[in-house]
Amino acid sequence: MAPEEIEEVGVGKIVEGTVTGIAPFGAFVALPNGKTGLVHISEIADVYVRDIKDFVKENDRVKVKILSMDENGKIGLSIRQAQPGASATREREGDRRARRGRSDRGTGGHASFEDKLARFMRESEDRLHDLRRSTDAKRGGRGAGR
Name the residue among 18, 83, 81, 24 with its Cα closest to residue 49. Answer: 24
110 pLDDT above the threshold of 60: yes
| Class in CATH terms, 3-100 | mainly beta
91 pLDDT above the threshold of 80: no
- At CB < 8 A and 24+ separation, what contacts does 29-32 make? 29/62, 29/64, 29/77, 31/64, 31/66, 31/75, 32/1, 32/5, 32/6, 32/8
pLDDT at 137: 74
- The letter for the amino acid at 35 is K
- The letter for the amino acid at 17 is G
26 pLDDT above the threshold of 90: yes
pLDDT at 95: 54
Name the residue among 60, 14, 69 with its Cα closest to residue 38. Answer: 69
89 pLDDT above the threshold of 50: no
d(CA 102, CA 144): 41
SS3 82: helix
Across 17-36, b (16+ Cβ under 10 Å) vs e yields bebeebeeebbbbebbbeeb
- The letter for the amino acid at 25 is F
Average pLDDT over residues 4-17: 72
Average pLDDT over residues 73-89: 80
Q: Which value, to the nearest 10 degrees, does the dihedral of the CA atoms of residues 102, 104, 106, 107 take?
A: -170
**Annotated domain spans of the chain:** 3-100, 110-139
Average pLDDT over residues 133-139: 78
Average pLDDT over residues 44-69: 91
